[in-house]
């Protein structure tokens, strides 16, 4: 067996072993979750969005283990002003976005993909916060929650690019349609929203290459009309072409373990922020909630996109 064949065989073994381990881990987590629910044991709350109040034990258990399944009806839908929802495929121009309270006519529009544990109504609250902070109009692309365990299992599948995720499909269709119409797109993503964004952009790139017959160079050039800002994202790889700025809190386990890392160690070799990407690392807060929240840990670090692309952070 040649060196190349041995390498391929080893790679296939690693992939198979990894997939089996992931499947087993998902099954174990689900079984443990059911045991905890049935036993009535107290479970801590994981906060991913803007919600800041503690909930009682029953509500926490419901959110962790499937209490938000009705939110699935909005998976991949666009969220606009007043929390109104629009089905996947609706052109962005037909969605009235959330505007800053002090500016009803902003010049920029962001498309925001939320992380795990956020219902549609919670994402709407995030849209207003982003609009007020950035001065831009914001439309949400909803990444629905079905409870913490189900959301984490979906993250694993997104990392492996396995199965279907309505939010991924909706985002890919939206970006592709906007590009084909000659319009640019500015994406905003937090936590699992970064995984959704990474996977969707890969889908768009493949569609441009396979369906439209574009060359690699032409595909990357067209994707250059996409600006992307991620915050505490869980994605370690992004396709070349878009213009990226990644914000990473070195104290946040989500991006340091699963995303763009802390810039140290041999594992950094296996991460890919996208060609020409700017990665801004900083230190803030303590604990899951204090280090991962978009409103407290990340938005205060953000600077205007073109300034960030030049590496000029306050």
CB 112 within 8 A of CB 139: yes
Is residue 28 in some structural domain? no
**Residues of the chain below pLDDT 70:** 1-68, 147-163
* Within a domain: 189: yes
Q: Which two tokens stand for residue 2?
A: 């040649």
Q: What is the pLDDT of residue 36?
A: 35
3-class SS at 189?
Answer: strand
- How many CB atoms are located within 10 Å of the residue 87 CB? 10
Instruction: Give pLDDT tens digits for 171-205.
Output: 999 999 999 999 999 999 999 999 999 999 999 99
Contact (Cβ atoms closer than 8 angstroms) between residue 106 and residue 100: yes
Give the pLDDT confidence score for residue 41 in this predicted structure: 35
Task: Report helix, strand and coil shares of the chain as percent, to nearest 5.
Answer: 50, 15, 35
Q: What are phi and psi of 21, to 5 degrees?
A: -65, -40
Place of tokens 């995984």: 195
> Residue 192 falls within a domain, yes or no?
yes
Please give the pLDDT value at position 157: 62
Q: Please report the pLDDT score of residue 159 as a whole number.
A: 63
- Residue 73 belongs to a domain with what CATH number? 3.40.50
Please state, as a whole number, how many other Cβ atoms lie within 10 Å of the Cβ of residue 77. 22
Q: Is 273 contained in some domain?
A: yes
| DSSP E strand boundaries for the chain | 78-79, 85-86, 109-113, 137-141, 185-190, 226-231, 243-249, 278-282
**229 located within any domain:** yes
H-type alpha helices, the chain:
3-39, 57-64, 120-134, 148-160, 166-180, 192-210, 216-223, 253, 287-292, 305-309
Q: Six-digit token pair at 69?
A: 């399944």
The answer to whether residue 26 is domain-embedded is: no
pTM above 0.75, yes or no: yes
- Contact assessment for residue 240 and residue 216, using Cβ atoms and an 8 Å cutoff: no
Domain containing 150 equals 68-309
Q: What is the pLDDT of residue 8?
A: 39
In a domain? residue 48? no
Contact at 8 Å (CB) between 137 and 106? Answer: yes
Residue 13 lies in a domain: no
Contact 213, 172 (CB under 8 A): no
Number of domains in the chain: 1
The pLDDT value recorded for residue 117 is 85
């Amino acid at each position: 067996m040649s060196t190349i064949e041995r390498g391929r065989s080893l790679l296939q073994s690693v992939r198979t072993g990894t997939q089996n381990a992931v499947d087993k881990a998902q099954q174990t987590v689900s079984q443990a979750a059911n045991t905890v629910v049935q036993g009535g044991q107290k479970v801590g709350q994981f906060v991913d969005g803007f919600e800041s109040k503690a909930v009682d034990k029953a509500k926490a258990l419901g959110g962790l283990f499937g209490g938000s399944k009705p939110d699935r009806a909005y998976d991949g839908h666009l969220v606009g002003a007043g929390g109104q929802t629009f089905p996947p495929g609706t052109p962005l121009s037909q969605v009235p976005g959330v505007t800053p309270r002090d500016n009803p006519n902003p010049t920029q529009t962001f498309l925001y993909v939320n992380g795990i544990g956020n219902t549609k109504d919670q994402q709407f609250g995030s849209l207003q916060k982003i609009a007020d902070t950035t001065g831009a109009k914001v439309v949400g692309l909803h990444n629905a929650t079905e409870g913490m365990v189900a959301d984490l299992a979906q993250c694993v599948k997104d990392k492996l690019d396995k199965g279907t995720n309505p939010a991924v499909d909706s985002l890919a269709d939206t970006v592709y349609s906007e590009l084909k119409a000659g319009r640019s797109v500015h994406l905003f993503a937090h936590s699992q929203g970064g995984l959704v964004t990474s996977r969707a952009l890969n889908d768009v790139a493949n569609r441009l290459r396979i369906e439209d017959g574009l060359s690699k160079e032409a595909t990357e050039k067209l994707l250059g009309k996409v600006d992307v800002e991620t915050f505490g994202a869980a994605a370690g790889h992004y396709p070349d072409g878009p213009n990226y700025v990644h914000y990473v809190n070195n104290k946040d386990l989500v991006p340091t373990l699963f995303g763009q890392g802390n810039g140290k160690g041999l594992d950094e070799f296996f991460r890919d922020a996208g060609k020409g990407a700017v990665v801004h690392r900083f230190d803030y807060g303590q604990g899951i909630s204090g280090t991962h929240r978009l409103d407290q840990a990340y938005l205060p670090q953000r600077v205007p996109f073109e300034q960030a692309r030049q590496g000029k952070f306050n």
